[in-house]
Amino acid sequence: MSEIPRRAPRIALLPGDGIGREVVDVARRALEQLLPRDAELVELEIGWSAFERVGSALPEETVRELERCDGALLGAVASPSHRVDGYSSPVVELRQRFGLYANLRPAVSAPVPGARSGVDLLVVRENTEGLYGAPERSVGERGGVDEAVITERRISRSASERIARAAFEAARARASRRGRRALVTVAHKANVLRLSDGLFRECVLAVAGGYPDVAVDELLVDAAAYDLARSPQRFDVLVTANLYGDILSDIAAAVTGGLGLAPSVNDGDRFAVAEPVHGSAPDLAGRGLANPVATLRAAALLLDRIGEPAAAARLSAAVEASLAGSVRTPDAGGSATTEEVARDVLRRLNARSVPWSPSRPRTETTAKEDLSCRSRQ
């Protein structure tokens, strides 16, 4: 029986705002070397610049095109720190509309000044509930100024069990690669938020019963933050709710080399959006100082998740070899520009296209891995 030909990948590029345009351009050049000639890279609008132009930070045209793609690479978006009528976070909306319930943020020690050695962990963050995107309402007003505001936080059993399964599957896969027993740590504040965090904790511990090969422990989220700063080597997979995961993953990035090196992927059952953890950094935009490593690492995560493991491995190897050398941007202890880092990585890719093999089938198991300037939602 002859093989059914498979179509080449179609990847959306979402540069966004600030340094997002610069770092996504570097990733685009790497993807063009790695992917087959008939692969499509489609650039789409998102972020504050899109809002100013068309009145929406996530235009419907962008959503329609994303629905025709295998995955997307997001750069960064700027978000106003004050209320702007009609504006809402496009990143949160993207996660909601495409069911991207698992935000996976790996943190591995990098060979750069200030990084702690021996750290290799993964933060698995629930991506669709909690305080992000939660309804807010004013309670009382005096002279046109809010006297109080209430934000309604939602934690559900279904979403908590779903993210727990993603964490335990990820831990099991990591253990298989590294040849040691997996450990999942659940971070919560159930001693104070007894109903909401209590439910999250209960669900994770219940799911743990189905994974006897994976050890499990728990920490109050403040203790988890302390341990991440003090002894990050103790962690393997850390699973937690939305806001906590955002904060804890930034601490993990800080101890392993900085936000300029930290990638992430927002994953669902059929679609993924990879992105650097850093934000749009308008103070760096246009100065050639943006570190493209986090975005290149995010692109490698995306390639692996859309069924291009060989291309992902080549890109990861080129980035890590470059990082271990002397060509680094100032945030990573060097003096190189964005373009110099880009050229070094691209040189290591040897300007060759990798042979393309039919994509692996995508399953639920393989799917599981703003401050407007420095870090994003």
Residues tagged active-site: 132, 189, 222, 246, 250
Q: What are phi and psi of 240, to 5 degrees?
A: -160, 175
Close Cβ partners of 209 (under 8 Å, ≥ 6 residues apart):
none
Rg (CA), the chain: 20
Q: Which helix (H) or strand (E) holds 76?
A: strand 71-76
Matching residue, tokens 């959306």:
12
Matching residue, tokens 């992105």:
275
User: Which DSSP state fits 361?
Assistant: P
Measure Cα distances from 354 to 302, 303, 312, 315, 322 in Å: 16, 12, 10, 10, 19
Measure Cα distances from 136 to 128, 247, 261, 310 in Å: 16, 21, 34, 45
* Residue 307 near residue 362 (C-beta atoms within 8 A): yes
DSSP helix/strand/coil, 194: coil
DSSP helix/strand/coil, 12: strand
313 exposure class (CB count in 10 Å sphere: 0-12, 13-18, 19+):
middle
Number of H helices, E strands in the chain: 12, 14
> How crowded is residue 332: how many other Cβ atoms within 10 Å of its Cβ?
22
Q: Can you list the alpha helix ranges (DSSP code H) found in the chain?
A: 20-34, 48-54, 60-66, 90-97, 157-178, 196-208, 221-230, 242-256, 293-305, 309-324, 338-348, 364-367
